[in-house]
Amino acid sequence: MKKTWWKILCVVILLYTIIQGLGGIVPRQPILNETIRNVYFHVPLWFGMMALMTASMWFAIKYLRNGNIADDEYSVEFANVAIFFGILGFMTGSLWGQFTWGDWLPKDPKIIAVEVGLLIYSSYFILRSSFEDEQRRARLSAIYNIFAFATFIPLVWILPRLTDSLHPGNGGNPAFGKYDMDSAMRMVFYPAIIGFTLLGVWITSLRIRLRVIERLKL
């Protein structure tokens, strides 16, 4: 019971998010209309992805400090699930874009940033697959992970704020927090971020356990 409380919390929060997200009352906005509900799913997925990427980098640093191969496994699996969340966020965003901006893939700095981010993490896996030796692979990919994260952050957080963007909070567009979301929405939105992040950690922990079993079997 000691270790399962956060899984229960995760399920409860996500159920709450889905019920509130599909059935709750949302403010009516001119272009957004009912699609504003997507803010409960699309945005928390991105927050979850960022959290997972940060965790991945954290374990990469930890690996470099003590050379424990388990930390490398953590790092990989966090990156893996981060990519998965990234793709989901991309899909929900694309769906949303079609109904508000009239285009599945508008030219927008944030979308480009995320495409680049997915490219970075894909090349991380290419790098991993090109080494035979376990320790060597772990060390080099940890180095690349930290290096890539450090260049990815300015890309996502700084660049979109300088150029014109369709996303709220960028290029002079007001942020969601200011106008669109009322307090009732925020009561769902903030828990949703926690819920999706917990879900990511849960998936990651399952994958790590699978990996450990496979390693011990060999």
Minimum CB separation from other proteins for residue 63, in Å? Answer: 10
Nearer to other proteins (CB atom), residue 33 or residue 163: 163
Nearer to other proteins (CB atom), residue 112 or residue 203: 112
Minimum CB separation from other proteins for residue 185, in Å? Answer: 32
Minimum CB separation from other proteins for residue 77, in Å? Answer: 21
**Residues near other proteins, by CB under 8 A:** 64, 113, 116-117, 119-120, 123, 126-127, 130-131, 135-136, 139-140, 142-144, 146-148, 150-152, 154-155, 158-159, 162
DSSP 77-143: HHHHHHHHHHHHHHHHHHHHHHHHTS-SS---HHHHHHHHHHHHHHHHHHHHHT--SHHHHHHHHHH
Compute the distance between CA of residue 86 and CA of residue 115 in angstroms, rounded to an integer: 9
Nearest to 14 by CA among 206, 202, 183, 194: 194
Nearest to 148 by CA among 96, 82, 215: 82
Nearer to other proteins (CB atom), residue 6 or residue 157: 157
Compute the distance between CA of residue 180 and CA of residue 144 in angstroms, rounded to an integer: 39
Compute the distance between CA of residue 34 and CA of residue 193 in angstroms, rounded to an integer: 20
Nearer to other proteins (CB atom), residue 20 or residue 141: 141
Count of alpha carbons within 13 angstroms of residue 116, beta-carbon side: 15
Nearer to other proteins (CB atom), residue 7 or residue 128: 128
Minimum CB separation from other proteins for residue 65, in Å? Answer: 9
Minimum CB separation from other proteins for residue 184, in Å? Answer: 37
